[in-house]
């Protein structure tokens, strides 16, 4: 990090961190360096840039910014969140055991169960809202706790500090997927986590125009291992998407505040709708938001008192909320987890974990909230007509 920014607030660092050394042009923005390879002074010269799978000036600038925002020493950018996950799992070996929270992104579970079990890894899934569940699930061969908080899609909250205490007392790595919260809302490394993971396609980039993943760490030895995995496996982020991500980070704090305010107003509305069975939102169940989260974020999930065909009609009836995969963009999105983001999970497991056919997930954007409310009211009116006809 630039020394003059070291003690500045996150909002200031988000705007100013992530510059490349002065190139005599006076450019305010970080340039895009598309080079795949670089001139060296002599055979074996590694004093500067050599090959972009190893390091690239634009990617490194974005990595420095992310390390700063997450209070880490090193950050590594990958071509997707799942590529970043792969690098973490590559720290393990056959016979190792992983404890993961039971409410996870479908792609994470798919990688765990369809890929890593073939290489001899063992997985246990727990309700992470109870810190003691980590202790109870720990085995002599447990090497990693994998946590999402808030979780996807039910927005369960995990006490990172308590999970970290249990992990450290058993010499276990704690990795936290901080995609939903972002470093503006919570910083897991400050709470004892060893690794922070993001699908940077979401809030960090913020405009639905990047596919990226990132890992951030504090420990230098762990950083070296992750860097080796990244370099050996590949999957680094390209310079253009690194530049887009760096641009998105500059407005992270502004966007997250608007996402959260809009989401809270939509929750207030949804709790008055007779067709809504339950609303999921951080802190809504009467518990305080743990881990020093500064705000609840922009994801709202709820179940409808309706069958699948009616729910399907609802998610197709909105006009401003776009029916689409992903989340975290300035645009509001609506999603049906059971048939979209979590469709790879077997139906019986989905339902056991609360991901029913009646579940709807909103990624609340930064539009005028009155327009979002009108859009949802219109969708509810449309399915009321459908229910009456049936």
Catalytic residues: 53, 105, 177, 202
Planar angle of CA 172, 350, 118, nearest 5 degrees: 50
Tell me how far CA of residue 3 lies from CA of 8, 17, 68, 359, in angstroms. Answer: 10, 10, 11, 47
CB contact set of 216 (below 8 Å; sequence gap of 6+): 66, 67, 70, 72, 74, 75, 76, 189, 195, 196, 198
- Cα gap 195→99, rounded to integer Å: 15
Q: Name the percent of the chain in helix, strand, coil, to the closest 5.
A: 40, 15, 45
Residue matched to tokens 């200031």: 12
Q: How far is C-alpha 245 from the chain's CA centre?
A: 14
Q: How far is C-alpha 249 from the chain's CA centre?
A: 14
- Cα gap 186→50, rounded to integer Å: 36
Tell me how far CA of residue 31 lies from CA of 22, 188, 204, 332, in angstroms. Answer: 10, 30, 19, 30
Task: Tell me how far apart the 2 most distant CA atoms of the chain are, in Å.
Answer: 79
Structural contact between residues 300 and 326, judged by C-beta atoms closer than 8 angstroms: no
Structural contact between residues 103 and 353, judged by C-beta atoms closer than 8 angstroms: yes
Structural contact between residues 136 and 128, judged by C-beta atoms closer than 8 angstroms: no
Taking alpha carbons only, the member of 308, 321, 318, 309 closest to residue 356 is 308
Burial of 360 (0-12, 13-18, 19+ CB in 10 A): buried
């Amino acid at each position: 990090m630039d020394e003059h920014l070291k003690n500045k607030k996150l909002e200031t660092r988000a705007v100013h961190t992530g510059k490349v050394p002065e190139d005599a042009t006076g450019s305010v923005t970080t340039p895009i360096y598309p080079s795949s390879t670089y001139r060296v002074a002599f055979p074996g010269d590694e004093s500067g840039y050599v090959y972009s799978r190893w390091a690239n000036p634009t990617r490194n600038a974005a990595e420095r910014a992310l390390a700063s925002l997450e209070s880490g020493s090193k950050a590594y950018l990958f071509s997707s969140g799942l590529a970043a996950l792969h690098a973490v799992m590559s720290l393990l070996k056959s016979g190792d055991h992983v404890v993961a929270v039971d409410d996870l992104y479908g792609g994470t579970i798919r990688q765990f169960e369809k890929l890593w079990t073939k290489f001899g890894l063992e997985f246990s899934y727990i309700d992470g809202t109870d810190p003691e569940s980590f202790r109870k699930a720990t085995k002599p061969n447990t090497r990693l706790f994998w946590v999402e908080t808030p979780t996807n899609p039910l927005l369960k909250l995990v006490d990172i500090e308590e999970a970290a205490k249990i992990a450290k007392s058993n010499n276990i790595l704690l990795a936290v997927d901080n995609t939903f919260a972002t470093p503006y809302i919570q910083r897991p490394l400050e709470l004892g986590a060893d690794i922070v993971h993001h699908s940077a396609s979401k809030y960090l980039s913020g405009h639905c125009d990047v596919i990226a993943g990132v890992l951030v760490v504090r420990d230098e030895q762990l950083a070296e291992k992750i860097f080796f995995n990244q370099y050996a496996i590949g999957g680094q982020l390209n310079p253009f998407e690194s530049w887009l991500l760096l641009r998105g980070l500059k407005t992270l704090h502004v966007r997250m505040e608007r996402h959260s305010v809009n989401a809270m107003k939509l929750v207030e509305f949804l709790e008055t709708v007779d067709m809504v069975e339950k609303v999921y939102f951080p802190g809504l169940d009467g518990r305080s938001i743990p881990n020093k989260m500064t705000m609840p974020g922009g994801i709202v999930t709820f179940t409808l008192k309706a069958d699948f065909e009616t729910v399907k009609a609802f998610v197709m009836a909105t006009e401003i909320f776009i029916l689409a995969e992903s989340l975290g963009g300035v645009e509001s999105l609506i999603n049906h987890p059971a048939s979209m983001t979590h469709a790879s999970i077997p139906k019986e497991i989905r339902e056991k974990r609360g991901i029913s056919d009646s579940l709807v997930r909103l990624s609340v954007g930064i539009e005028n909230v009155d327009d979002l409310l009108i859009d949802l009211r219109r969708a509810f009116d449309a399915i009321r007509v459908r229910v009456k006809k049936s």
